[in-house]
Chains A and B, each alone.
Chain A
Amino acid sequence: MNRYLLPCVTIISLVLSLMTYSLSSHAQSAQEKGLVIAKERKLRDKGWGDSTGNMSMILRNAQGEEVERKMRLKSLEQVADGDKGLTIFDQPLDVRGTVFLNFTHATEPDDQWMYLPKLSKVKRIRSRNKSGPFMGSEFAFEDMSSFEIEKYKFKFLRDETYEGQASFVLEQIPTDKNSGYSKQIVWVDKEHYRALKIEFYDRKGSLLKELANFDFTLYLGKYWRPLRVEMFNEQNGKSTELVTHELNFNTGLTDNDFNKGTLKNVR
């Protein structure tokens, strides 16, 4: 008996280890596949350099009343860290000349400053208030900063066709406890790895907002940008539309353009 038992056990353990090996590779895949897709999404957007944009933010309440904000954005890609961004407010007129400077960081809170023209003062602001609304809109400050891998834990959920495009559906859970979200569900198209739609869930786990990207346009033959973004608040019925009127790349921006000392000269 013993003579047969050993090979049997060996074979069974071999079969079992083979099974667990293949099983574990499948079990890994939800998180790993999610991370792989997210990394590919980030990679496809690498190397865009710098850009300047001109946009409107249209705020609508549940009754359909509209208010328009106008702003200009300057962005500079950073290789080792999150991107740098500058937002110049043109409308409403009482905040014209106000400039918002943001250094996105992957793991630490972003560094943010606001230039207040009335006092000629550069004010350091708390990026922990990232869940707060940006300019009274349905966008939170954290929705305005750049996409970084380290900001989330990813999980692949399923394949799905969204608006006729074969897509991955991913769950991303913010790693920062100061985030206003418990999770986000993202639809990423399989062809270009663009975020088509994002659902935002509040800290209690209920659906808070839904973002949809429209009018994707190709820049420098490689980088897709949505020229219309709509954020709809499921809980209060308000929405904000972000419309890009003009977007230019390779504009020659440098780190010097993102210095808090020169915010007073920004126009």
Chain B
Amino acid sequence: MKTLLPLIALLPTFVFAEIEYTGSAAVEQRYFFQDALYPQQERANLSVYFAPEVYTSFNDGNDSILFKGFYRLDQQDGERTHGDIREFKWTHSGDEWEVQTGIGKVFWGQTESLHLVDIINQTDAIEAIDGEDKLGQPMVTFSLFKDWGNTTVFVLPYFRERTFSGNDGRFRAALPVDTDNPIFESEDEEKNLDWAIRWQHTLGDWEVGLSYFDGTSREPDFVLTSNELLEPSLRPFYPLVQQAGIDVLALLGGWTIKFEGVQRKIMDQDINAFVGGFEYSFVGLFDSAYDINLLMEYQYDDRDNASNVITQNDLMMGSRLVLNDVDGTEILFGLVQDLDYSNVRSGFIEASSRINDNWKWRVDAWLFSSDEPVEPSYMLRRDDYAQLSLEYYF
């Protein structure tokens, strides 16, 4: 009893709000329309994932802990069978400021077809070819929320390597990527201390963001070499990069203008890239509740002969149809045309709708047309596919 009393006295300070367990899981079936380029690859692939989420807050809601896990099991590709801690962070909020510590996920930018400015999190490229899935990034951040904008300073003590398809997976180069032997420019390798700062503000109908990053590039180059078995392979090379970025969104009349631009310094080379375009909305089409948004974005990168840059001089045109129905049905489709090679283009469609409170279906399809061996999309020329997903939320 004597030992218990002080414990009980301490208890109230450790009282957590209730713990919330939520998350999602899905079954995904992919079907590839053409025979594969490489004998190890299959025409069909079944895959499942599980993404649990745990959240609790304490100290009157001024502190919170969030965990988001992810695990995928893939039928064909052993590399795609992988797990990750997407987020596991402690947030402490003050008046007009906050500190976050742990593994986090951050998004910067405004454009739809390409995310140039967004650099904090590594792409979980093996997940989907749109590059929107990200790996959890260890970080400490300090944010200030003021009349003159929101400013966040990031300290990033550990680097995450990009994921790549294995030999049995689709969407790969002719040679396997030797992810076990990456090369870093930094002597500290993945322990290089990266840092970044971002300022974002709303000025009437304008959203403006400025950012600076100094650290290891999330985007690797590849070095042709041979692995332990003396087979040729590609080793990812992660150089150091200093990147200054700007992102803007403006609401002008019926138009939404979007722009992102970056200047990067990599290996004493200056690189400029931008993506910009517009979205135009037709609301309540033909007296219905339907909305149609037309999107057009132009992508430019001044690297002339970089083999790993898909988005050099390309035009994306797309349309998003929003049914505004009870099931939240949306259909997005589009085309990306390479303006250097008229025979290089890709088309995509994404559609989704709710079945009930817990279930949702989704269809994604990509078609690639690329007869140009010098373009990186050439390696995807036989990877046209459609995927049906059944998602469960809990």
Which chain A residues have a beta carbon within 8 Å of chain B's beta carbons? 59, 61, 67-68, 91-96, 111, 119-121, 124, 126, 128-129, 131-133, 136, 180, 254, 256, 259-262, 265, 267
* Bound complex: CA A189 to CA B105 (Å): 51
Q: What is the distance, in angstroms, from A208's C-beta to the closest C-beta of chain B?
A: 11
Classify the interface of chain B: helix, strand, loop or mixed.
Answer: strand
Q: What is the distance, in angstroms, from A177's C-beta to the closest C-beta of chain B?
A: 12
Which residues on the A side are within 8 Å of B105 (C-beta)? 120
Establish whether residues A94 and B360, one from each chain, have CB atoms under 8 Å apart when the complex forms.
yes
Establish whether residues A267 and B393, one from each chain, have CB atoms under 8 Å apart when the complex forms.
no
Knowing A91-B357, A120-B106, A126-B281, the reply to whether A136 touches B55 (Cβ < 8 A) is no
* Bound complex: CA A28 to CA B221 (Å): 76
A265's closest neighbor in chain B, by CB? B91
Interface size on B, residues (CB 8 A): 43
Establish whether residues A267 and B324, one from each chain, have CB atoms under 8 Å apart when the complex forms.
no
Which residues on the A side are within 8 Å of B358 (C-beta)? 93
Which residues on the B side are within 8 Å of A261 (C-beta)? 143, 145, 150, 152, 200
Residue B326 contacts which of A59, A95, A128, A131 (CB distance < 8 angstroms)?
A59
Establish whether residues A93 and B145, one from each chain, have CB atoms under 8 Å apart when the complex forms.
no
Q: What's the count of A-B pairs with C-beta under 8 Å?
A: 83
Which chain B residues have a beta carbon within 8 Å of chain A's beta carbons? 20, 22, 24, 55, 57, 64, 91, 93, 95-96, 98, 105-107, 132, 143, 145, 150, 152, 200, 202, 207, 249, 251, 254, 256, 281, 283-284, 289, 291, 324-328, 354, 357-358, 360, 391, 393-394
A130's closest neighbor in chain B, by CB? B283
Establish whether residues B202 and A93, one from each chain, have CB atoms under 8 Å apart when the complex forms.
no
Establish whether residues A119 and B324, one from each chain, have CB atoms under 8 Å apart when the complex forms.
no
Knowing A67-B326, A93-B393, A259-B145, the reply to whether A133 touches B289 (Cβ < 8 A) is yes
Establish whether residues A124 and B93, one from each chain, have CB atoms under 8 Å apart when the complex forms.
no
Establish whether residues B281 and A129, one from each chain, have CB atoms under 8 Å apart when the complex forms.
yes
Sample (27) of A-B pairs whose CB atoms are under 8 Å apart: A59-B326, A67-B326, A91-B357, A92-B354, A92-B393, A94-B24, A94-B360, A94-B391, A111-B202, A119-B107, A120-B105, A120-B106, A120-B107, A121-B107, A124-B249, A124-B251, A126-B256, A129-B281, A132-B324, A136-B324, A136-B325, A180-B284, A256-B96, A261-B150, A262-B98, A265-B98, A267-B55
Which residues on the B side are within 8 Å of A94 (C-beta)? 24, 328, 354, 360, 391, 393
Residue B93 contacts which of A126, A180, A265 (CB distance < 8 angstroms)?
A265
Establish whether residues A262 and B145, one from each chain, have CB atoms under 8 Å apart when the complex forms.
yes
Which residues on the A side are within 8 Å of B22 (C-beta)? 93, 96
Knowing A96-B22, A126-B281, A136-B327, the reply to whether A260 touches B202 (Cβ < 8 A) is yes
Indicate the member of B24, B98, B132, B283 with the most A CB atoms within 10 Å. Answer: B283
Which residues on the B side are within 8 Å of A67 (C-beta)? 326
* Bound complex: CA A95 to CA B106 (Å): 19
Establish whether residues A259 and B150, one from each chain, have CB atoms under 8 Å apart when the complex forms.
yes
* Bound complex: CA A91 to CA B96 (Å): 30
Q: What is the distance, in angstroms, from A57's C-beta to the closest C-beta of chain B?
A: 11
Q: A128-B281, A261-B143, A262-B145 are in contact. List 13 more A-B contacts (CB 8 A).
A: A92-B357, A94-B328, A94-B360, A96-B393, A124-B251, A126-B251, A126-B281, A129-B291, A132-B289, A254-B95, A261-B145, A262-B98, A265-B91
Indicate the member of A68, A111, A126, A259 with the most B CB atoms within 10 Å. Answer: A126
